[in-house]
Amino acid sequence: MFRTFLSLVLVGLLMQGLYAGPALAAQGKDDPQAVEKVKLKVAKIGLGDKARVTVRTKSGTKIKGFITQAGADDFTVRDRKTGDPTTVLYNDVAKVEDNRGHSTLRNVLLGVGIGVGAFFVLIAVTIASLND
């Protein structure tokens, strides 16, 4: 009984993964709303040495640095290590990530969550093997 239930849950999770692909592919298209979201994200992060970001372009390029200038059509990211400026058009941006660092509490909770999940999977497998 439990083994059947576990199999159905796994099949359901796999089926859910099939529907995620088309949804993610639709996000990559050029639309004015996406450009506005990028502009708002850049404005929210701000300018200066504390405005650290990782910009992923639609061509796959990854730019790390801090935002030094933001205009109507583009913004400038200065590399952290070399200091070289890179001008990025808002239309070319796939994703802007804020890099202010991760809190220790978040990392601890993530580790605990993974550990608890692994424990429950181990318990489920053990119970399933005992029923046979």
Q: 30 falls in which pLDDT band (50, 70, 90)?
A: low
Does any domain span residue 21? no
Amino acid (one-letter) located at 86: T
DSSP SS3 for 31: coil
- Which residue range is the domain that position 77 belongs to? 31-103
pTM: 0.53
Does any domain span residue 119? no
Does any domain span residue 36? yes
* Domains of the chain: total: 1
Does any domain span residue 35? yes
**CB within 8 Å of 56: residues ≥ 6 apart:** 62, 63, 93, 94, 95, 96, 97
Phi, psi values for residue 27, rounded to 5°: -75, -20
43 pLDDT more than 90: no
Cα dihedral 81, 87, 72, 25 sign: negative
CA 44 to chain centre: 18
Query: Hunting for tokens 């159905």 — which residue is that?
Result: 8
Does any domain span residue 111? no
Please give the helix or strand (H or E) that residue 64 lies within, else none: strand 62-70
pLDDT tens column, 105-131: 888 899 999 999 999 999 989 888 887
Does any domain span residue 124? no
Does any domain span residue 2? no
Does any domain span residue 3? no
**Domain CATH for 73:** 2.30.30.100
pLDDT tens column, 72-92: 888 899 988 888 888 988 888
